[in-house]
Amino acid sequence: MDSLSEKIKELRNEYSDSELLIEDLNKNPIMQFTNWLDSAIETKIYEPNAMVLATSFEGKPRSRYVLFKNIIEDKLIFYTHYESPKAQEILSNPNVSGIFYWAEIHRQVRFQGLAKKTNKKISDDYFATRPRGGQLSAWASNQSSVIDNREVITNKIEELEKNFSDNEIPRPEFWGGFEIQVNYWEFWQGRKNRTHDRFCYTQKPTGWEIERLSP
C-alpha cells in the first residue's frame, strides 16, 4: 500500500494553457457542448460520447458510464434496459447528473437535469441502426441481474438468432431511450498550475445565465 501511495503522489500531469474566456462561449449551452464534442471527435479521443451518469436510490448516489447517442430538441439521449437499476432509479427520481471528460484536450463538461423515457419512435429508429449483434444482446440480457456464467447470455443469443432467422429484429418493449432536459451546465478547461477556467450556465426564466467559477 505504501508503494501505491508513493506512486499516486508522483502523478503530476500538467495541463496545457489553452484559455477559455466568457466571450469565447456560445450563449446557448447546447451549442457550446456540441462545439466541444466535435473537437473531441476530431481529436480522435476514444469514445468521446462516453458519459458518467449519476442517479439516486433511497438517497444514495449511484453512477456508471453510458454512451450518449444524440441531441433531440436540446435533450441528451442515451439508451438502456428499462428494467435495469439505473432506469428504475430514474423512473423513481428523474433528477440526474453527468460528466463528459476528454483528457487529451483537458476539458470536462458537467450537467444536471431531469430524465424521462423518450417516445417510442426515437427508440425504434435508433434500435434499427444497431448492428444485429447489438439488437440480439438487447433481447438476451436482463441487465445487471445475477447470472451463473457467460454461457447464459451466449446460449440465449444463439437461441434468439435461430428464432429471428433472417427476419428483422424488432425493438423489445423493455429496452429504449431516455432523454435528459439539462438545466445546469458547467464547462471546465484545464490550465497550468491548476488555474483552470470554469464557466457555468444556469437556466433562469429569462434564459441562460453564464458565470465564471473559481478553479
| Structural contact between residues 187 and 25, judged by C-beta atoms closer than 8 angstroms | yes
The one-letter amino acid at 168: E
* pLDDT score of 208: 97
Task: Please list the active-site residues.
Answer: 194
* pLDDT score of 53: 98
Residue spans of the chain under pLDDT 50? none
Question: How far does Cα 2 stand from its chain's mean position?
Answer: 35
CATH superfamily of 16-213: Electron Transport, Fmn-binding Protein; Chain A (2.30.110.10)
* pLDDT score of 7: 84
* pLDDT score of 16: 76
Mean of the per-residue pLDDT values for the chain?
94
Please list, in sequence order, all residues whose beta carbon lies within 8 angstroms of the beta carbon of residue 109, skipping any fewer than 6 positions away.
33, 36, 99, 100, 185, 186, 187, 188
* pLDDT score of 2: 75
What dihedral do alpha carbons 208, 72, 189, 35 form, nearest 10°? -100
Angle CA(10)–CA(13)–CA(14) in degrees, nearest 5?
135
In angstroms, the CA 116 to CA 187 distance is 24
DSSP assignment, residue 19? Answer: -
* pLDDT score of 17: 77
* pLDDT score of 144: 82
Predicted confidence (pLDDT) per residue in 162-184, tens digit: 999 889 999 999 999 999 999 99
* pLDDT score of 6: 83
* pLDDT score of 1: 61
| Structural contact between residues 77 and 178, judged by C-beta atoms closer than 8 angstroms | yes
